[in-house]
Amino acid sequence: MAKQAIGLIECKGLVSLMEASDAALKAADVSMTGWEKIGSGLVTGFFTGDVAAVKAGVEAGADAAGQIGEIVAVQVIPRPHDDLSKLGTWIG
């Protein structure tokens, strides 16, 4: 996963996450590696790709989802440590 980035979009409601995912995947060359149901209506989508592409995709996704629902958090982790993939299957 060298020179890759991980992007996270956390939304309130699955519909908002679907809107965010659609916009992120259309806006940049990113891959959606999965999503997690957090609880209390919160869901998080995970994206990987080039650092600039993930930043652009996550930003576009957050903007789109913010128009129909509530965005709780947005995070981009550029060049994550290789051991981070041991923490979850969503990283790829």
The average confidence (pLDDT) of the chain is: 90
Q: Where exactly are the structural domains of the chain?
A: 5-82
How do residues 69-78 score in pLDDT, each as one tens digit?
Answer: 999 999 999 9
HSE of 65, CA atoms in CB hemisphere, 13 A: 31
Whole-number Å distance between alpha carbons of 24 and 6: 13
How do residues 47-57 score in pLDDT, each as one tens digit?
Answer: 999 999 999 99
Whole-number Å distance between alpha carbons of 92 and 32: 10
How do residues 21-43 score in pLDDT, each as one tens digit?
Answer: 999 999 999 999 999 999 899 99
First-to-last alpha carbon distance for the chain, in angstroms, is: 9
Whole-number Å distance between alpha carbons of 27 and 38: 26
Per CATH, the number for 5-82 is 3.30.70.1710
